[in-house]
Structure 1
Amino acid sequence: MNTYLQALPHGTTLSCRSAGEPGRPVLLFLHGFPEAAFIWDGLLTHFARPENGGFRCVAPNLRGYEHSSSPTEVSAYRAKHLVQDITALIQIETRDSPTPGQVAGLIAHDWGGAVAWNLAALQPALLHKLVIVNSPHPGAFCQALAHDPAQQAASAYMNFLATPEAPALLAHNDFERLWPFFTGMGHGGTHLAWLDEAMRERFRAVWRQGLHGPCAYYAASPLRPPTAENPGAAAVQLPRNMLEVNVPTLVVWGMDDTALPPSLLDGLDGYVADLRIERVPGATHWIVHEQPERVAQLLTPFLRGAAPV
């Protein structure tokens, strides 16, 4: 696995991981909270192999994570800045590819998915295909946060993460308030076999770089449950041009996700013209860790042009 720092023209630097030869079609992978680019290593290696497409695979750490730029201002984590980072990275990483300025596929989970949905709606020419893993479409999520009591309860943690105190509280006592984001979003047991001590240490290494950036995503976003002090999503009206996606899209959803339930898939075809949905029973929000072979199995034919089996 290659690691490097990529400077972007607007001053941000993203720490990246990559596999595969430069000059090949590019797949770009975006992680979510509270993870980092390394979670994609297995898929980077998989898709770099000739039999799986021989792609050039790149996974950046989003701004605020690991060794990427971590601005102190919460406003620096608004969606427009996150999209700007990935737009610039696409231009750089694809300049020697067969399709300069366009990735063959954008694969994203959780907060990475939020960025990817926005990018696909606003700049569809930058990607040939889109893959979303357990990350709600902003239109559906906004409506659920504003009006669905069950989703409001499931997402209550977002309001905690948006507070100024959250980074210090999360870091306390070996990150005791962070581990439940993994252990509490499913049904335990075999779901957690992947979270061994070696994996925990990889997460610790990322979190020790600082948690202000990861938490600032929540503080900067209005898409969170309403409270007495803040109307949150109830005050948000998203324009239609930020919601319609006109690139072929595969959505993979772990059906046991307790924070983002499968009901968020309802009506998704009203936003996405060319849509495939793969519902995976027995998987949680952390499906990439729990069922990596199944994720690879679903993504491979889609990214190579065929329909998922």
Structure 2
Amino acid sequence: MAGWNEQNLQLGDVRLRLWRGGQGRPVVVLHHDIGTPDRLPFYDALADKFDVIVPSHPGFGVPERPQWMRHPRDLAALYQWMLTELEVERPSLVGLGFGGWVAAEMAALAPRDFHRLVLVGAMGVKPPEGDIFDQAIVSYIDYAKAGFLNDGAFTRVFGDVSTDQLVAWDLCREMCFRIAWKPYMYSQTLPHLLGGVRAPAMIVWGSDDRIVPRSAGELYARSFREGRIETVPNAGHCVDMEQPEALARLVTPFLDQN
């Protein structure tokens, strides 16, 4: 199993926390809007083959936040800065849910800079059919649970939810509303900017995603020059947490291609 190191980068007034593990081609994993545990089996599976970098979105789950940040594109630009500081060239991006939106924005900002893109249940585009689940109408814990196929799958990942976890989800929600509220969880311009992206894109959807309609994934697949959509069975929105082995088996050969 790959060893992991925690690092902190100072990017202007932002102190960025990240984890890095494994060796090989660089792969940046961008996590969900509900944050991420420090370690996940999916991250470990990728780190068996790749040099994996997992930044923690500033302001998500912690009280310190960049007061100037107003759009996921700002986060995308910050992560470009991160790559410069780490001297990482032509990484692949794996974006999970909200992190998929950020990954797509990164690719749109620098269409020649990435090796491969994997977007899993990605927000960021308006679904042609259906709507992105509005977390404002449910509790923090019910929103997190909605990302899983059932309560049993949720409990396997989070167990008995602590007060600290509820506070972290509250802070994640505040940051989402700050940077992704109007319109809610999508960009009106992003689909028009993806056609120039040179990297092949794999769009992955859980078979039972209740957060983002599959029609959004189909729109993503059509918007890229070279995009395709795949389905992981027995999974909701948080495919990486529910079906880590299946997701890793699906994306690893794609990320490893020349």
Q: Which has the higher contact order (CA 8 A, sep 6+)?
A: 2
How many residues align? The count is: 253
Letter of the 2:5 partner, please give it.
N
Radius of gyration: which is bigger? 1
Write the distance in 2 (CA, Å) between the matches of 1:256 and 1:250.
Answer: 18
1:238 to 177, 184, 189: 189
Which stretch of structure 1 is more off in the superposition, 117-126 or 177-186?
Answer: 177-186
Pair 1:33-2:20 in alignment: no
| Cα drift, residue 81 of structure 1 | 1.7
Conservation of the 8 A alpha-carbon contact between 1:83 and 1:118: yes
Secondary structure at the counterpart of residue 14 of structure 1: strand
Specify the alignment match of 1:284 in structure 2: 236
Letter of the 1:296 partner, please give it.
A
Write the distance in 2 (CA, Å) between the matches of 1:189 and 1:217.
Answer: 24
Specify whether residues 213 and 267 from structure 1 end up closer, same or farther in structure 2 by C-alpha distance, changes over 3 A only. Answer: closer
TM-score by length of 1: 0.71
Conservation of the 8 A alpha-carbon contact between 1:16 and 1:61: yes
Unaligned runs of 5+ in 2: none
Secondary structure at the counterpart of residue 16 of structure 1: strand
Give the alignment's Cα RMSD to 1 decimal.
2.9
Unaligned runs of 5+ in 1: 162-169, 171-176, 226-232
More helix, by proportion: 1
Deviations 1:263-287 (A, max 9, x none): 2233434311111321122210011
2:211 to 246, 254, 259: 259
Letter of the 2:81 partner, please give it.
A
| Percent of paired sites with the same residue | 21
Secondary structure at the counterpart of residue 142 of structure 1: coil
For residues 89-238 of structure 1, the aligned pairs below 5 Å read 89-93=82-86, 95=87, 100-103=88-91, 105-136=92-123, 138=124, 141-142=125-126, 144=128, 150-151=130-131, 155-157=133-135, 160=136, 177-188=139-150, 190-197=152-159, 200-201=161-162, 205=164, 208=167, 211-212=170-171, 214-221=173-180, 222-224=182-184, 237-238=188-189
Deviation >6 Å, runs of 4+: none
Write the distance in 1 (CA, Å) between the matches of 2:62 and 2:17.
Answer: 6
TM-score by length of 2: 0.83
